[in-house]
Chain A
C-alpha cells in the first residue's frame, strides 16, 4: 500500500504569493491533519479534517485554510506568504478521527518563501 503522499516535495514562492499544498492519505484513512515544522523545531498543528469537516484548528492566522475532498485527499492553502512561512509542511493521515495511535506522516512539502 502507498503511504501518505504529498505534492509538491519542494517549492519556492515569493512574499505575498499564494500556495496550495496537496495530500493524499493512506487508502481507507478518513482523517487528515496538517502540521508546520520550522527548521530546528517540532511540528506544530495547523488543522485536522475528518469526513470533510474541520475537527481542529491550531493557532495559525486566517491566511491558512484547508479543505478535504470526498476522496479524503486534502489541500492546505496559504495566502499572502511571509518569509516566516518557510517550513516543512507535513500531512498525517489516520483511519478515524483518532490521531494518536494510527497517524502516519508523509515526507512533507518543503516551502521556501523569498
Chain B
C-alpha cells in the first residue's frame, strides 16, 4: 500500500465552480499535511499546510484533515482559469522529516 494516494484526474471544471481535491494516507503517525500547486514546467509551490486535524482557510482555498479516516482535502472556491495546474498533497511525520508526495491531480478550469 502506498503511503499517500491521490486521484490523478484529470479534472475539468467550469470557471466559478467549487473544486474538491482529495488524498488518503496509510499511517496514522503523519502529523503534517500540505498542499502544493505545480504549474507546467515549474517547481511545486506550497499553498498551505495543516498540523494534525482540522480546517485551514486562505482566501479561496480551504484545507481539511480528518485523521480518523486518514483523509485530506483541498477545496477551491470560485475557481479561476489561473488555478489550472497539478495539485499535490504531501505528508510528513514531523516538521523536520522528509515530505512524501502524492502523485498529483491535474486540474483544468475552463473559462
Contact = CB atoms under 8 A, between A and B. Distances in A.
Interface string B71-111: 00000000000000000101010011111111110000000
B46 interface: yes
Contact of A41 (B42, B97, B99, B103): B103
A40 B42 CA distance: 14
Interface in A32-84: 35, 40-45, 48, 55-56, 58
Contacts of A100: 32, 34, 49, 92, 95, 99
Contacts of B34: 100
A98 B103 contact: no
Contacts of B100: 45
A98 B43 CA distance: 19
> Closest 6 interchain pairs by CB?
A42-B101, A105-B43, A45-B98, A100-B95, A98-B95, A43-B101
